[in-house]
Amino acid sequence: MTNATVHPLREPGDIDPTTVLTGPLRRIRRVRLNPGERVTLTADGFEFTLFVLSGGGTGNPGTAAFTLRHGVSVTAPLRAELHLVAGDEGLEYFLAELTVREES
């Protein structure tokens, strides 16, 4: 028998995988934004990958805006900043954060 754990992912919330995993995956979140809601994700001390589950909106890493919709994923490197704005149907996404060792 392993020490595996099962987590429901149907509702928004945080999961701390470090209680089971020893790799770089440090946090998993499912997030719902209401229509027009804005959020800024900053990769401070970690990198992240975002997977759009439903709805849509726009993302802007500071250079040019792009469309977010079901099936789109965005990966951000260390120290990146991503601005999200939910569209008319809101925006639901899954976010995985990965620890990065910074070189000195």
Higher pLDDT: 58 or 17? It is 58
- Residue span of the structural domain in which 86 resides: 27-99
Express each pLDDT in 71-104 by its tens digit. 999 999 999 999 999 999 999 999 999 998 766 5
pLDDT band at 57 (very low <50, low <70, confident <90, very high): very high
Domain membership of residue 81 (yes or no) is yes
pLDDT at position 1 is 45
Structural domains in the chain (count): 1
Within a domain: 12: no
pTM assigned to the model: 0.83
Average pLDDT value for residue range 53-70:
92
Task: Determine, yes or no, domain membership for 9.
Answer: no
What CATH number has the domain bearing residue 83?
2.60.120.10
- The answer to whether residue 64 is domain-embedded is yes
> What is the arithmetic mean of pLDDT over 15-29?
84
- Per the domain annotation, does 13 fall within a domain? no
b/e for 66-80, b at 16 or more Cβ within 10 A? Answer: eebeeeeebebeeeb
